[in-house]
C-alpha cells in the first residue's frame, strides 16, 4: 500500500490507538507498515533454536512468515507433514508446548480485544493456553468497532471464503452468508474473545495492509 495514501495514514493512526489499548490489556503490540516489515519483526521476536508452530492462516502465508520459519534456524513443527490421525495428534501435542505459536485473528476491536471463531479449535486452544508465546499477525482490514462486529465479521466475511477454500460443504459456502448452521463441516464451532494477555504472553503485530480474509 502506498505509504502516502489516506488509507495507509488511517491505518497508521488507528493502529496507534489499538496498540495503546492492547498494551493496557497486557499484550505486547507493534505496528508494521507492510508485510515485509511484519515478517522481519515477527522473526526478531523469536530466538534462534525456538520450537515454532502455527495455525492455518492466509495472512501468515501472504507475509511469508511460515516459509521464513521453515527455512530458518528454528525447530519448525510442520503439521502438514502428518499423514495419519496418530501423526496429527503427535504434531498437535508438540505445538501445545512449543516456544512460539503463530496465528492471525478473525477480527480485532478498537479497544484491543481479539475475536476468533474456529472449527476444530486447535488454533484458539493454543491462543488460550499451552505455547509459551503467541504471535498474532493481522492486517488492519480486520479492525472492527466492538466484539459484536468482530463476531459478525468472523462469520460473514471470513468464514464463507474459508469454507470454500477448505472444501467444506456448509450453507455459507453456497450462499456466502452465515446460516448459523449445524453442519458437520461447520468451521464456526468455537468462539473465543481474548480480552487480556497476562504477562505479555500474546504479542500482536498490526500491519498497514489488507491481508487475509
Q: Which domains does the chain have, with CATH numbers?
A: 6-109+121-143+195-207 (3.40.50)
Give the C-alpha separation, 48 to 78, whole Å: 17
User: Residue 102 above 90 pLDDT?
Assistant: yes
User: What average pLDDT is seen over the chain?
Assistant: 96
Contact 94, 126 (CB under 8 A): no
DSSP for 141-201 reads: GGEESSHHHHHHHIIIIIHHHHHHHTT---HHHHHSS------TT-S-SEEEEE---GGG-
pLDDT at residue 147 in the model: 98
pLDDT at residue 4 in the model: 83
DSSP state of 79: G
User: Residue 43 above 90 pLDDT?
Assistant: yes
Q: How confident is the model at residue 180 (pLDDT cuts 50, 70, 90)?
A: very high
Stated length of the chain:
213
pLDDT at residue 163 in the model: 95
Percent of the chain at pLDDT exceeding 70: 100
User: Residue 3 above 90 pLDDT?
Assistant: no
Query: How is the chain split among helix, strand and coil, in percent rounded to 5?
Result: 45, 20, 35
> What is the pLDDT averaged over residues 148-174?
96
User: Residue 81 above 90 pLDDT?
Assistant: no
pLDDT digits (tens, 9 = 90+) for 189-210: 999 999 999 999 999 999 999 9
Quick check: helix, strand or coil at residue 103? strand
> What is the pLDDT averaged over residues 88-108?
97
Give the C-alpha separation, 77 to 55, whole Å: 11
Amino acid at each position: 500500500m502506498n505509504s502516502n495514501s489516506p488509507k495507509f495514514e488511517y491505518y497508521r493512526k488507528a493502529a496507534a490507538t489499538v496498540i495503546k489499548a492492547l498494551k493496557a490489556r497486557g499484550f505486547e503490540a507493534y505496528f508494521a507498515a507492510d508485510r515485509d516489515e511484519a515478517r522481519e519483526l515477527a522473526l526478531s521476536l523469536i530466538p534462534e533454536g525456538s520450537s515454532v508452530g502455527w495455525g492455518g492462516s492466509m495472512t501468515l502465508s501472504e507475509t511469508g512468515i511460515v516459509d521464513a520459519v521453515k527455512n530458518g534456524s528454528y525447530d519448525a513443527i510442520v503439521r502438514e507433514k502428518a499423514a495419519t490421525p496418530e501423526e496429527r495428534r503427535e504434531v498437535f501435542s508438540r505445538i501445545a508446548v512449543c516456544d512460539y505459536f503463530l496465528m492471525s485473528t478473525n477480527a480485532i476491536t478498537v479497544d484491543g480485544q481479539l475475536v476468533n471463531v474456529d472449527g476444530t479449535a486447535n488454533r484458539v486452544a493454543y491462543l488460550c493456553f499451552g505455547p509459551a508465546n503467541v504471535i498474532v499477525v493481522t492486517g488492519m482490514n480486520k479492525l472492527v468497532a466492538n466484539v459484536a462486529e468482530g463476531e459478525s465479521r468472523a462469520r460473514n466475511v471470513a468464514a464463507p471464503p474459508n469454507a470454500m477454500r477448505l472444501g467444506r460443504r456448509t450453507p455459507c459456502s453456497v450462499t456466502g452468508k452465515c446460516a448459523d448452521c449445524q453442519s458437520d463441516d461447520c468451521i464456526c464451532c468455537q468462539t473465543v474473545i481474548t480480552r487480556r494477555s497476562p504477562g505479555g504472553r500474546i504479542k500482536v503485530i498490526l500491519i498497514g495492509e489488507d491481508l487475509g480474509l
